[in-house]
């Protein structure tokens, strides 16, 4: 990502804190899909208004984002999630270090029944007790994808909660920030092989491992899945593969999964990154790649599947 690029910001101004907090949960997917690169929530001003500021690169169409944001907010108001519609303001943020501004505003989010994602300045390790409180995954919001705000990430985390029982060897394909790798260890996996193509994610990935004190259990392959699969001489295979990559980009990777799984323990894959409306086509393609659906979940417009490499 070029930090010298120009950006613009959309402010969604709410007249109460609750609506602003709901915005982060409910609008995240829509705004991410439109190309948002980060956001933060401002502290309330004197009239108790709270602005959620969402950053976009200049290449993203302002009028399209405005239109879609209004439509999405109207739906959420009709469903009773927002008590009132937000006011929209647009501001130019020339050569702005939006990463720093987003970091300050990120407060953390409950991503699944047992897991919560928090930034380093909001951790509460004293309360770390898995049976009573959610486990914390510490994520420093940065250049890598994966703060837990996007539905596709949360779907993976929810399905991982069901599939990880303890002692598994996991492969995290397209690791981004490392959120799924860290979650796997928190949930009881023995080790994780992370695989990530984008060099801009590595620093953030390593920092997140360090913050969660899991660096010794997670290894990073700095390259694409195909290169990883080709370079692997003979391995024991993985009990579980998790992959959150847009299905168009995941399609050519499907044959690699077969060579990586450990058949003895079932060859389970968790795949996220397709639209719910396209699930039937996706499941057909998975089936012809030898992956049969065992479970499927939906969150917003997105779907994720647990499959077995057997058919
Ligand atoms: C949607 S992000 C997912 C990040 C994180 N795992 C999560 O669930 O939030 C997809 C990531 O996959 C990486 N990626 C895309 N194609 C890949 C490939 N062929 N091999 C390895 N990583 C890839 C991208 O660079 C990006 O970081």
State the closest ligand 1 atom to the C-alpha of 242, by its place in the atom list counted from 1.
6
Domain end residue (candidates: 61, 79, 104): 104
Do 198 and 300 fall within a single domain?
Answer: yes
pLDDT for residue 165: 95
Do 190 and 58 fall within a single domain?
Answer: no
Q: Which of 33, 3, 1, 36 is nearest to 12 (CA)?
A: 36
Is position 1 within any domain? no
Residue nearest (by alpha carbon) to ligand 1 atom 6 = 175
Element (H, E) at 294: strand 291-299
Do 117 and 99 fall within a single domain?
Answer: no
Do 185 and 293 fall within a single domain?
Answer: yes
Is position 152 within any domain? yes
Do 245 and 279 fall within a single domain?
Answer: yes
Q: What 3-state class would DSSP assign to 23?
A: helix
- Give 45's contacts (C-beta < 8 A, 6+ positions apart): none
CB 195 within 8 A of CB 223: yes
pLDDT for residue 4: 43
Residue 44 alpha carbon to ligand 1 centre in Å: 35
Residue 275 alpha carbon to ligand 1 centre in Å: 17
Q: How many domains, the chain? A: 2
pLDDT for residue 131: 45
10-residue stretch averages of pLDDT, the chain, 311 residues long: 60 82 70 73 71 81 89 84 86 65 65 82 54 76 77 92 95 97 97 95 94 96 94 80 95 92 82 95 95 93 92 55
Q: Give me the phi and psi of 89, to 5 degrees please.
A: -125, 150
Do 80 and 204 fall within a single domain?
Answer: no
Do 172 and 121 fall within a single domain?
Answer: yes
Any ligand 1 atom below 6 A from CB of 156 = yes
Residue 197 alpha carbon to ligand 1 centre in Å: 7
pLDDT for residue 280: 97
Any ligand 1 atom below 6 A from CB of 32 = no
Is position 295 within any domain? yes
Domain end residue (candidates: 51, 75, 104): 104
CB 240 within 8 A of CB 263: no
* Angle at 144 (CA atoms; ends 99, 59), nearest 5 degrees: 65
- Give 71's contacts (C-beta < 8 A, 6+ positions apart): none
**Cα–Cα distance between 71 and 161 in angstroms, integer?**
33
DSSP states along 30-51: HHHHTT--EEEEPPP-TT--EE
Any ligand 1 atom below 6 A from CB of 245 = yes
Domain end residue (candidates: 104, 126, 151): 104
Domain that holds residue 182: 109-309
pLDDT for residue 40: 72
Alpha-helical segments (H) within 106-246: 151-163, 179-187, 202-211, 225-231
Residue 259 alpha carbon to ligand 1 centre in Å: 19
State the closest ligand 1 atom to the C-alpha of 153, by its place in the atom list counted from 1.
8
* Per-residue buried b or exposed e for 163-202, using 16+ beta carbons within 10 Å of the residue's own CB: bbeeebbbbbbbbbbbbbbbbbbbbebebbbbbbbbeebb
Residue nearest (by alpha carbon) to ligand 1 atom 19 = 224
Q: Which two tokens stand for residue 12?
A: 């969604």
CATH of the domain at 17: 3.30.70.600
Q: Which two tokens stand for residue 116?
A: 């919560």
Any ligand 1 atom below 6 A from CB of 111 = no
Residue 39 alpha carbon to ligand 1 centre in Å: 20
pLDDT for residue 49: 83
pLDDT for residue 62: 87
pLDDT for residue 129: 45
CATH of the domain at 294: 3.40.50.150
State the closest ligand 1 atom to the C-alpha of 195, by its place in the atom list counted from 1.
21
Do 270 and 138 fall within a single domain?
Answer: yes
pLDDT for residue 24: 64
Q: Which two tokens stand for residue 217?
A: 């259990």
> Among 35, 36, 197, 253, which is best to mutate for testing ligand 1, by the most ligand atoms less than 8 A from CB?
197
Residue 104 alpha carbon to ligand 1 centre in Å: 25
Do 237 and 90 fall within a single domain?
Answer: no
Q: Which of 139, 158, 110, 289 is nearest to 214 (CA)?
A: 139
Is position 263 within any domain? yes
Is position 208 within any domain? yes
**Cα–Cα distance between 222 and 59 in angstroms, integer?**
28
């Amino acid at each position: 990502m070029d930090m010298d690029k120009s950006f613009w910001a959309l402010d969604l101004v709410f007249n109460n804190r609750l609506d602003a907090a709901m915005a982060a949960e409910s609008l995240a997917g829509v705004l991410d899909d439109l190309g948002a690169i980060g956001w933060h929530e401002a502290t309330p001003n004197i009239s108790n208004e709270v602005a959620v500021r969402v950053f976009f690169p200049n290449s993203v169409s302002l009028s399209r984002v405005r239109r879609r944001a209004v439509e999405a907010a109207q739906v959420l108001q009709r469903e009773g999630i927002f008590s009132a519609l937000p006011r929209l303001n647009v501001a130019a943020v020339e050569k702005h270090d939006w990463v720093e501004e987003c970091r300050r505003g990120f407060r953390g989010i409950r991503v699944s029944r047992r897991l919560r994602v928090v930034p380093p300045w909001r951790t509460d390790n004293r309360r770390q007790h898995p049976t009573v409180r959610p486990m914390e995954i510490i994520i420093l919001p940065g250049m890598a994808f994966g703060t837990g705000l996007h539905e596709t990430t949360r779907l993976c985390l929810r399905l991982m909660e069901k599939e990880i029982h303890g002692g598994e060897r996991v492969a995290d394909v397209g690791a981004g920030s490392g959120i799924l790798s860290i979650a796997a260890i928190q949930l009881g996996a023995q080790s994780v092989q992370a695989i990530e193509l984008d060099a801009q994610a590595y620093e953030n990935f390593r920092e997140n491992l360090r913050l969660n004190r899991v660096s010794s259990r997670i290894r990073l392959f700095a390259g694409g899945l195909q290169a990883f699969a080709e370079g692997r001489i003979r391995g024991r295979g993985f009990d579980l593969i998790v992959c959150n990559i847009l299905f168009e980009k995941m399609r050519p990777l499907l044959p690699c999964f077969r060579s990586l799984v450990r058949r003895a323990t079932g060859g389970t894959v968790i795949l996220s990154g397709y639209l719910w409306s396209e699930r039937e086509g996706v499941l057909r393609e998975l089936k012809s790649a030898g992956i049969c659906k065992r479970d499927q979940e939906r969150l917003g417009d997105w779907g994720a599947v647990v499959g077995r490499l057997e058919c």
